[in-house]
A = this chain, B = another copy of it.
Amino acid sequence: MLEKVDLKKKIGKVEYKEMIDGLREQLGELQRQARDLGIPVLILFEGWDAAGKGTLINELILSLDPRGFNVYSIGEPNEEAMMRPYFWRFWNKTPQCGRIVILDRSWYSKILADRVGQGATAHDVQEAFHDSLSFERQLSDDGTLIIKLFLHISEREQRKRLEKLEQDPATAWRVTEADWEHHRQYNKSLLAIEEIMQQTDAECAAWTIIEAHDRRYATLKIIATVIEAMEKRLAVAAAAANVKKDKSTDKHLPASGLSKIFTSSILAGIDLTKSLKDTEYENSMKFYQTRVRELEHIIYSKRIPVIIVFEGWDAAGKGGAIRRLTQDMDPRGYTVIPICAPTAEEKAHHYLWRFWRNVPKAGHIAIFDRSWYGRVLVERVEGFCRENEWRRAYKEINEMEEQWANFGAVLVKFWLHIDKDEQKRRFEERLANPGKQWKITGEDWRNREQWELYENAVDEMFFRTSTTYAPWTLVEANSKEYARKKVIQSVIEAIEDKI
């Protein structure tokens, strides 16, 4: 999903000025509170070469009391470190109670280098993930707040920056042949970075992507991210210590008020103008529907289970897409499973229980019309579950899908995307059509009011659950024909890849 992140975000000078001072003051206060409550904070900067780590770390520490933090730059291990187990030097740098440690690169840089350089076996890499996670979990269990930032720039931006550095005699020395070599491996690294983030994105130590093309935007997002994490951690500590929270922070804009600026990277980048000519649609669909039927028989004989998930906005056309997909299929080979609110029995079990029960037999196809992702969408936005529940759901879902994929299943997950205007048009059309009025309820209008909250939830879902074994497919669905064709094509491709 990293390649889909919208990197064009900018903040104007005026807007920046309006916000930055208040945020800096707020962060300074949070630092004092963390000191008083004895909370250690570890902030880790990873990112592409030339993404501006040094500059942005400077922007961050401008807000902080210099007596309360340390910045460490993590390069190649020196001889002392080479003589000891890998995490020795990181243990030595862990913050003590009440202090902040900022790391310029971390244990992840070596994992990335090993991964891209191919010096490491799959087993080495698994071990590295395991050690990283256990290190972070141990610190977090002990009370340390861990914030992991990844500064993201595009390949083109990286090249531009490296060239600019080279042209200036004062900075040319900073660009080495190794930097260019890394640059040439940008795309390979992108995949490795995605894998690292997926594998090490823990509830106690989640990754945040910082779009780093624009320095003002990146600065604000970094400070807001740190503020949000510290506020959350301090609330927990204050509750535990039975201390009333210092009222003085309340005069500030809550960091969550900024969240609108800092999210929806992926949805915002989807091009909804895509469409199809009628004749093209008719002809291609016939062809694809026949092919799907053939594939249905092949996977049956090869005993491959297929799991297809449909998520998307209300009225995005999930039902129609499913109908077109299954139109020519053999009904003995697939099941459509509509997911609504859980029954009493389902509520009395783990929320994944009902999906496990519906996992298709080898050779069969299960089509979920909405799915387990409800946990991190409607249940999150509407408050039907607690925050810790939807937060840990990302990992639970990834684990479930990984087990299914390891069993040999093909997983295809669709997000059908339309914009707010298109949704309104479709709602009104349904209301005007007596045969479709039943499809639209008060709830649909209410959900619509939460559009931005859903956008944020969808974006986070993409980021945390688009895995190598179960990637999301984003479907531009303002044109129903385009969407239906893309859905059926994607299913065909996913199955053909497997067989």
Mark each residue of chain A from 82 to 118: 1 if its CB lies under 8 Å from any CB of chain B, else 0.
1111111001101011100000000000000000000
Considering the complex, which residues of chain A in the window 348-392 have a beta carbon less than 8 Å from any beta carbon of chain B?
348-353, 356-357, 359-363, 392
Extra contacts, 20 of them, besides A85-B359, A85-B403, A141-B392 (Cβ < 8 A), are A38-B348, A83-B303, A84-B305, A84-B360, A84-B361, A85-B407, A85-B409, A87-B403, A88-B359, A91-B352, A91-B356, A92-B356, A96-B349, A97-B348, A123-B123, A126-B126, A131-B399, A138-B350, A141-B396, A144-B350
A79: nearest chain-B partner, CB-CB:
B361
Contact residues of A with B, CB < 8 Å?
Answer: 38, 40, 80, 82-88, 91-92, 94, 96-98, 122-123, 126-127, 131, 134, 138-139, 141-142, 144, 303, 305, 345, 348-353, 356-357, 359-363, 392, 396, 399, 403-404, 406-407, 409
* Interface pairs (30), CB distance under 8 Å: A80-B361, A83-B361, A83-B363, A84-B359, A84-B361, A85-B403, A85-B404, A85-B406, A86-B407, A87-B356, A88-B356, A88-B359, A91-B356, A91-B357, A92-B356, A92-B357, A94-B349, A96-B345, A96-B348, A96-B349, A97-B349, A98-B348, A122-B123, A138-B352, A139-B350, A141-B392, A141-B396, A142-B350, A142-B351, A144-B350
Minimum distance in angstroms from A119 CB to a CB of chain B: 16
| Residues of B close to A94: CB separation below 8 A | 349-350, 353
CA of A47 to CA of B286, assembled, Å: 58
Q: Which 4 A-B residue pairings sit nearest by Cβ, starting from the closest?
A: A91-B356, A96-B348, A85-B407, A83-B361
Copies in the complex: 2
Q: In the docked arrangement, what's the CA distance between A399 and B142, Å?
A: 15
User: Are the C-beta atoms of B353 and A91 separated by less than 8 Å?
Assistant: yes
Query: What is the bound-complex CA distance between A40 and B127, given in angstroms?
Result: 34
Q: Which of B138, B305, B357, B396 makes the CB contact (< 8 A) with A396?
A: B138
A86 & B138 in contact (Cβ 8 Å cutoff): no
Q: Which residues of B have CB within 8 Å of A92? A: 356-357
CA distance A198 to B305 in the complex (A): 34
Name the residue among A38, A85, A96, A409 with the largest chain B CB count within 10 angstroms: A85
Most buried by B among A80, A350, A404: A350
Q: List the B side residues contacting A87 at CB < 8 Å.
A: 356, 403
Docked CA distance A82–B361 (Å): 9
**Which residues of B have CB within 8 Å of A359?**
84-85, 88
In the complex, A407→B396 CA distance in Å? 31
A123 to B343, CA, bound (A): 39
